[in-house]
């Protein structure tokens, strides 16, 4: 997750660190007239990177043999994640450097990199012949073979013969998947009389040949991308293997990557509106951007694995094993153009999804709210996708100011409870989370921050005004991280509201700062050196506990489809540890006298809810499916497996078809705007539709209702019965 706590731009302590580093590195002079691929630049970058990290990182790891082993493992996995290039003999040769990388880093020795880079280029060139040979003749899809995609536990091939066989099985699986898709299309055409009359049915032999040609074209395209990569690109892989061993959120941005990072921070792009992440040899959907074309289409989901990408009516290109940057290039494109994604769903089924690219508007990163009624009460839902702010423009929108405005608008509508929804919110500005938490409490501490030097700083809400003192629910899930966790933790520690959602949030309790490496050198003739994102601080709850690894545990944990999958910070091997410091001085909110009773009522409701039981059962099944990596290459068995998955998936169809009993509406000011803005109306209609199918929002509203005092309930009933108008 590229989460930058922008608050750090105004933190004078970090500025002092940067100044100190600048002075210390003043002696680094660059060699003139060197090309960008010159090893001298690489040596300088290694020296610069490790120096900056060691001086500026919150808790830098010691560069020793254990560090070396970690870099060795991560780097080789990044170079050859599916183990289809290197031979075991290569690994045996590399292994003597497993505990020497630390020494090479300190001595600016590039021997290990040069060896692995040269060997990889050689093996990749050889591999072209392997897949071309495998795809030259028809496959026997009646033969009883299988292929294991558990690359992590797969051994390296001992011989070229074994490697050729691995390539054969892998491309056969790809061709089989394409063949089955093509057969389904033919079957669908046959069922449609008009379509059937227009074309002659294709034979199995024709379809099989087309499937092999499609796989060949995809691999050729993949290798053409690889050919475009230069030594500097591969050196960035090595540098990142070093940087990420300090902690998962420390990374190096090569110049072009820094540009993409800056673009992503602006929040405006043209494409499908999805964020991707690499998992071994596969590209996975990590997030759908609210309001984007993929989100609107309702077919692509978080966790889907992209297997192929096609432009319009063109043949799909296999992207398995392709670099993430290259997959992104294929998926991105001008507004109005079509892209077709072949994806593997969480349940194992294969689906082709067509998306028309569009501009993903920055507006959809902003807060929005809705109103809903239950038992004569009106409640508000505030959805905050990101803790946004622009520190360079004090007059621009920021999450703190915008949430305060939404609270006032909801109060004007007479709501008697508020849901703060920060599900899928990966974080953002530390300043805004302090402002937002302060809306719901008297003045007091919100979060504690500890620097590398060990000094603690407490960030306070110093405004005695409580903008909302009524019932409050905060919603989180496994993807609520960083600033979202600070908000949920503060509300929980004050006992100000009820935190509901996943068993626990993501567990990112660290602060990163992006440092431009060019500022530390003089006479730079090498060009742009890129930037470093490094962990500079750690934040803690006001009760003293860290949110690192453990995240925030919900007061009321509700099962979801990702409950049993490994998706959090705690599942990363070199994540920073959990710890605690002394608590801050704070006073628990004492105006909610039925807090514990409400939690007990909610838990009782969930125990008897068949929909939640079905969701939990589905989550367990998805976890089981995630562990199954062996695919039959026999077409009859492959089809039977796919059909069985589809049949099993029917059991869970009621999850998608669920509808709660609530009607969600926009606030009056937005209703007026939507009359002139059909695009906004479409976005809000879709959001309200998703809320009406959301069992978690439904439970949040029940909780708000339970938090109402008996006196308020009596008053509400009297207002309904006597139609009394009360004026303040």
Active-site amino acid positions: 482, 493, 508
User: What SS3 class is residue 191?
Assistant: helix
The 8-class DSSP code of residue 251 comes to E
Return the structure tokens found at 201: 């049915």
Q: What is the DSSP secondary-structure string of 361-393? A: -GGGGS-EEEEEEETTEEEEEEE-S-B---TT-
The 3-state DSSP class for residue 553 equals strand
Contact 507, 569 (CB under 8 A): yes
Question: Phi and psi dihedrals of 361, rounded to 5?
Answer: -80, 145
DSSP designation for 97? G
Dihedral of CA 483/484/485/489: which sign?
positive
Residue indicated by tokens 């070396």:
68
User: What does residue 706 show for φ and ψ, rounded to 5 degrees?
Assistant: -70, -25
For residue 307, what is the enclosing H or E element? strand 305-311
In contact, 186 and 207? CB cutoff 8 Å: yes
CA 588 from chain centre, in angstroms, equals: 34
Long-range pairs for 489-492: beta carbons < 8 A, 24 or more residues apart: 489/447, 489/541, 489/542, 489/543, 489/547, 489/552, 490/437, 490/441, 490/446, 490/447, 490/541, 490/542, 491/420, 491/437, 491/440, 492/552, 492/555
Per the listing, tokens 């710890």 go with 579
Find the Cα–Cα–Cα–Cα dihedral 112, 117, 123, 124, rounded to 10°: 160
What is the distance between the alpha carbons of residues 384 and 325, in angstroms, rounded to a whole number?
Answer: 28
Q: In 10 A of CB 471, how many CB atoms?
A: 26
User: Is residue 544 a contact partner of residue 602, using CB atoms and an 8 Å limit?
Assistant: no
SS3 80: coil
520 phi and psi, to 5 degrees?
Answer: -95, 5
Residues with Cβ within 8 Å of 519's Cβ and at least 6 positions away in sequence, in order, are 18, 22
């Amino acid at each position: 997750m590229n989460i930058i706590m922008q608050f750090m731009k105004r933190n004078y302590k970090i500025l002092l660190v940067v100044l100190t580093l600048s002075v210390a590195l003043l002696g680094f002079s660059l060699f003139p007239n060197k090309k960008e691929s010159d090893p001298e630049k690489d040596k300088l970058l290694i020296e610069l990177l490790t120096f900056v990290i060691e001086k500026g990182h919150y808790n830098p790891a010691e560069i020793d043999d254990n560090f070396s082993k970690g870099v060795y493992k991560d780097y080789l996995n990044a170079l050859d994640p599916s183990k289809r290039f290197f031979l075991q003999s290569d690994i045996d040769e590399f292994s003597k450097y497993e505990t020497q990388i630390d020494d090479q880093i300190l001595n600016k020795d590039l021997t290990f990199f040069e060896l692995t880079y040269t060997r990889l280029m050689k093996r990749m060139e050889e591999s072209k012949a392997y897949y071309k040979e495998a795809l030259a003749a028809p496959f026997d899809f009646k033969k009883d073979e299988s292929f294991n995609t558990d690359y992590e536990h797969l051994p390296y091939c001992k011989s070229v013969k074994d490697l050729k066989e691995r390539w054969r099985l892998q491309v056969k699986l790809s061709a089989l998947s394409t063949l089955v898709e093509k057969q389904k299309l033919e079957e669908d055409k046959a069922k449609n009389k008009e379509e059937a009359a227009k074309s002659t049915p294709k034979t199995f032999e024709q379809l099989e040949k087309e499937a092999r040609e499609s796989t060949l074209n995809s691999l050729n395209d993949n290798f053409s991308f690889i050919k475009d990569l230069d030594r500097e690109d591969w050196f960035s892989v090595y540098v990142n293997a070093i940087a990420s061993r300090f902690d998962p959120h420390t990374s190096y941005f090569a110049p072009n990557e820094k540009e993409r990072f800056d673009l992503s921070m602006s929040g405006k792009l043209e494409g499908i509106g999805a964020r991707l992440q690499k998992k071994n040899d596969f590209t996975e959907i990590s997030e759908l951007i609210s309001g984007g074309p993929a989100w609107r289409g309702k077919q692509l989901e978080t966790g889907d694995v992209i297997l192929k990408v096609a432009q319009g009516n063109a043949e799909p290109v296999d992207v398995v094993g392709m670099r993430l940057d290259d997959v992104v290039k294929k998926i991105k494109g001008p507004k109005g153009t079509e892209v077709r994604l072949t994806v593997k769903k969480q349940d194992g089924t294969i689906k082709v999804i067509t998306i028309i690219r569009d501009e993903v508007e920055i507006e959809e990163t902003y807060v929005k709210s809705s109103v809903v009624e239950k038992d004569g009460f009106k409640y508000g839902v505030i959805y905050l996708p990101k803790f946004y702010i622009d520190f360079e423009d004090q007059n621009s929108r920021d999450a703190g100011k915008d949430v305060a405005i939404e609270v006032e608008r909801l109060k004007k509508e007479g709501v008697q409870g508020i849901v703060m929804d920060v599900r899928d919110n990966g974080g953002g500005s530390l300043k805004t989370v302090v402002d937002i938490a302060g809306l719901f409490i008297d003045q007091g501490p919100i979060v504690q921050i500890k620097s590398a030097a060990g000094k603690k700083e407490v960030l306070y809400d110093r405004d005695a005004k409580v903008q909302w003192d009524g019932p409050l629910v905060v919603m989180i899930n496994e993807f609520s991280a960083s600033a979202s966790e600070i908000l949920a933790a503060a509300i929980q520690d004050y006992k100000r509201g009820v935190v509901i959602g996943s068993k626990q949030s993501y567990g990112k309790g660290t602060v990163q700062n992006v440092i431009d490496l060019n500022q530390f050198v003089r006479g730079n003739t090498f060009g742009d050196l890129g930037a470093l994102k490094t962990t500079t601080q750690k934040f803690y709850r006001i009760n003293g506990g860290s949110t690192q690894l453990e995240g925030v545990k919900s007061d009321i944990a509700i099962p979801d489809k990702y409950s049993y999958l490994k998706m959090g910070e705690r599942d990363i091997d070199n994540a920073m540890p959990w710890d605690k410091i002394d608590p801050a001085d704070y006073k628990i909110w004492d105006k909610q006298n039925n807090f514990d009773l409400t939690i007990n009522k909610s838990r009782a409701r969930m125990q008897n809810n068949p929909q939640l039981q079905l969701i939990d059962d589905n989550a367990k099944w998805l976890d089981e499916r995630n562990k199954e990596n062996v695919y039959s290459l026999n077409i009859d068995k492959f089809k039977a497996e796919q059909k069985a998955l589809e049949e099993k998936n029917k059991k869970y169809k009621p999850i998608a078809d669920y509808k709660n009993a609530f009607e969600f509406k926009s606030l009056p000011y937005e209703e007026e705007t939507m009359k002139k803005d059909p695009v906004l109306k479409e976005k809000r209609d879709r959001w309200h539709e998703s809320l009406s199918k959301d069992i978690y929002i439904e439970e949040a509203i029940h909780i708000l209702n339970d938090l109402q005092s008996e006196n308020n309930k009596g008053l509400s009933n009297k207002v309904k019965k006597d139609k009394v108008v009360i004026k303040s």
